[in-house]
Structure formats: structure tokens, C-alpha cells
């Protein structure tokens, strides 16, 4: 499948089948995040692989997204913003947000390419999640990404993208 096919066919998955993911698949997904574009070369984000059932249940609760604990793996992307702040005086938070989003999107698109479902979740209670996963205080939790085989019975709603004519301008706004 080409990238445009993957983009057109992906839709969010919140409910997963019981099928597990092999270690090679998990490493492959991590690689896709590692190879995301990075403007600074600082790589301030880190990824927690959550496979423990109780932890997944708690993540599902704290993000207010039911069923994501059915995923065999939940990736949690966290950022050490101080690494950016040590180098750039301004816009550290924007840089962190951009980089984590690029890593998250790469991971999700690789999951799609492997025939797996995923969700990108940002509604995260920082304090609860840090406590739950033992994340240091100076980190920011940016993404929660459950990945696994989609439960085919749970169809998700996919909004239509805007028409190109509604968002594109030629030469000037
Ligand atoms: C930046 C971003 C943040 C999101 N945050 C959440 C979230 O906090 N909770 C949630 O249930 N879904 C979240 N989603 C999933 C969206 O609800 C979902 O992507 C949206 O319904 C569009 O559907 P699609 O991904 O199938 O195109 C998020 C998606 C994106 C791209």
C-alpha cells in the first residue's frame, strides 16, 4: 500500500481483539517513532511500552477512553522539555509538541501499514498518569497510543476531510 492509501484508509480504533503483538512488531513500531523527522536532533521524547493489564485499565480510566485497555500494547510518549529549554530560549513547548506529534503519527501510520489499529489520545491527566507510570515530575505526558488488531465489530466514525478547494490558496491567501 502506498502512503496515500494508508492515510485514506486509517481510522481511529478504540477496541481491539485479543490477539497479541510480537516483540518484533513492538520494536518495529518504536523504530517508526525513532525515525520521525526531528528538527533539533535533541530527541527529548521517550516511550513507555505498557503491557500490564492493570496499568492499561488505569490508563483507560484516566484518559476517559473506554476499551483501550483491550489493546495488547499502549505506547505512552513523554517529553523531557528541559532538554529543549537548555538549548532554545523560546518556544520549547511548541518544539516538544511538534516532535512528539511527528513521532506519534509515524508510529500510527506504521501500525496502519502492518494492518493494526491504533488511536492517538491527548486527553491525559498529567498527575494521575505520572503517578501511575512512575514518570518523573519534569516530564510532560504527550500521547497515549493503544495499538493492536482492531475488533472488527467496533466500527469507528471517520470524519470526511475538507475539500482541497476549501483549504488551498494559490500564491496568496
Ligand atoms: C491530536 C489528536 C488528539 C486526540 N485526542 C483524543 C483524545 O484525547 N481522546 C479520544 O478519545 N480520542 C482522541 N483522538 C482521536 C480522535 O477523536 C479521532 O482521531 C477523530 O475522531 C478522527 O477520527 P479518525 O482518526 O478516524 O480520522 C485524538 C486524535 C488526534 C489527531
Pocket test for ligand 1, best of 121, 125, 128, 155 (most atoms within 8 A of CB): 121
The residue whose CA has the least distance to atom 18 of ligand 1 is 12
Q: Is 95 exposed, middle or buried (0-12, 13-18, 19+ CB in 10 A)?
A: buried
The residue whose CA has the least distance to atom 4 of ligand 1 is 121
Q: Is 167 among the domain residues? A: no
Q: Is 66 exposed, middle or buried (0-12, 13-18, 19+ CB in 10 A)?
A: exposed
pLDDT of amino acid 149: 97
Cα 143 to chain centroid distance, Å, stands at 5
Q: Is 166 among the domain residues? A: no
**Nearest-angstrom CA–CA distance, 123 and 145:** 11
Q: Is 158 among the domain residues? A: no
pLDDT of amino acid 35: 97
Q: Is 164 among the domain residues? A: no
The residue whose CA has the least distance to atom 15 of ligand 1 is 120
Q: Is 1 among the domain residues? A: no
The residue whose CA has the least distance to atom 26 of ligand 1 is 11
The residue whose CA has the least distance to atom 25 of ligand 1 is 12
Residue ranges lining ligand 1, Cβ < 6 Å: 11-12, 65, 119-123, 156, 158-159
Q: Is 173 among the domain residues? A: no
Q: Give me the CATH number covering residue 111.
A: 3.40.109.10
Q: Is 45 among the domain residues? A: yes
Per-residue pLDDT band for 127 (boundaries 50, 70, 90) equals: very high
This model's pTM is above 0.85:
yes
DSSP letters along 109-157, please? Answer: HHHHHTT-EE--B----HHHHHHHHT--TTEEEEEEEEEE-B-TT-PPP
Number of structural domains found in the chain: 1
Range of the domain at 62: 11-151
pLDDT in tens, 44-64: 999 999 999 999 999 999 999
pLDDT in tens, 12-23: 999 999 999 999
pLDDT of amino acid 159: 85
**Nearest-angstrom CA–CA distance, 26 and 117:** 13
> Which atom of ligand 1 is nearest to 123's Cα?
8
pLDDT in tens, 131-149: 999 999 999 999 999 999 9
Q: Is 30 among the domain residues? A: yes
Q: Angle at Cα 18 formed by Cα 32 and Cα 141, nearest 5°?
A: 45
Amino acid at each position: 500500500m502506498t502512503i496515500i492509501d494508508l492515510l485514506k484508509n486509517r481510522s481511529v480504533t478504540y477496541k481491539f481483539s485479543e490477539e497479541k503483538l510480537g516483540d518484533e512488531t513492538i520494536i518495529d513500531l518504536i523504530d517508526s517513532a525513532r525515525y520521525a523527522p526531528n528538527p533539533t536532533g535533541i530527541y527529548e521524547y521517550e516511550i513507555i511500552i505498557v503491557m500490564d493489564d492493570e496499568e492499561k485499565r488505569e490508563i483507560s480510566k484516566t484518559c476517559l477512553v473506554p476499551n483501550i485497555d483491550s489493546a495488547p500494547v499502549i505506547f505512552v510518549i513523554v517529553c523531557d522539555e528541559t532538554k529543549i529549554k537548555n538549548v532554545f530560549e523560546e518556544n520549547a513547548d511548541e518544539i516538544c509538541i511538534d516532535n512528539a506529534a511527528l513521532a506519534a503519527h509515524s508510529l500510527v501510520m506504521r501500525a496502519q501499514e502492518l494492518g493494526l489499529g491504533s488511536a492517538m489520545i491527548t486527553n491525559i491527566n498529567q498527575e494521575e498518569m505520572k503517578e501511575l507510570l512512575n514518570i518523573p515530575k519534569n516530564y510532560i505526558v504527550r500521547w497515549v497510543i493503544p495499538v493492536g488488531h482492531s475488533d472488527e465489530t467496533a466500527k469507528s466514525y471517520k470524519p470526511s476531510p475538507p475539500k482541497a478547494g476549501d483549504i488551498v490558496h494559490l500564491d496568496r491567501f
